[in-house]
Every structure is written in structure tokens, then in C-alpha cells.
Amino acid sequence: MSPQSYHVHVRRIDGARNMARFYALSIERTLFGEVSLLRAWGRVGTRGQQRIDVCPDEQQALRLFLSLLRQKRQRGYAPCNTRPLPALPARSSRSATPAASWS
């Protein structure tokens, strides 16, 4: 397999339709050296579903990868934001109130 890495994660979010979906594609080698296309999809925030397609060679896996990506892009999926997450605000110095004193 070439040193080129094939991974993509796309999302389709439409608040008006209460839709938040993801689709991930990756070309990987199996433990037995076969080339496989890994797919994962579902609602954002869930584990979703997964499927692994074993291909006879890298070229066929790449054709399937690009075909699926093209279909998803036509349906409105867009690449995920790859910027790093913003830093969390500093924690306050107050200690947490014990749960027993809440009553």
C-alpha cells in the first residue's frame, strides 16, 4: 500500500430538519495484509454503525472511497472543521459543595 493516507470525516447538519449526521471513510490494511475500506456513519454524538469492505487491491478501494465521498458531497455532507478545539476556561478555586448538604 502506498504511503498516502486516506481518511475523511464529513457531516451534514440541518437544524430545521433536526438532522445531524456524520460519515467517515478510511482505507486501511487488515491483519492479513488485505486492503479494506472502513465506513462509519450515524447521528453526530452517537457511535453509529460500521462496515468493512475488503477490496482486491488499493486501486479498487480508492475508487470505492472516492465514489462514496462523491455521493455524500452531492447529498450535502461537508468536511468537518479540523481546527483544534478552543481551550477550556480556567476552573474556579471554589471547592465543590458536598451532595449531603444540598437538602
Q: Structural domains in the chain?
A: 7-82 (2.20.140.10)
Q: How far apart are CA 26 and CA 33, in angstroms?
A: 15
In angstroms, the first-to-last Cα distance of the chain is 63
pTM for this entry: 0.72
Is residue 32 helix, strand or coil? coil
What is the number of residues in the chain? 103
Please report the pLDDT score of residue 103 as a whole number: 42
For residue 43, what is the enclosing H or E element? strand 35-43
- 80 pLDDT tier (thresholds 50, 70, 90): confident
Dihedrals phi, psi of 46, to nearest 5 degrees: -115, 170
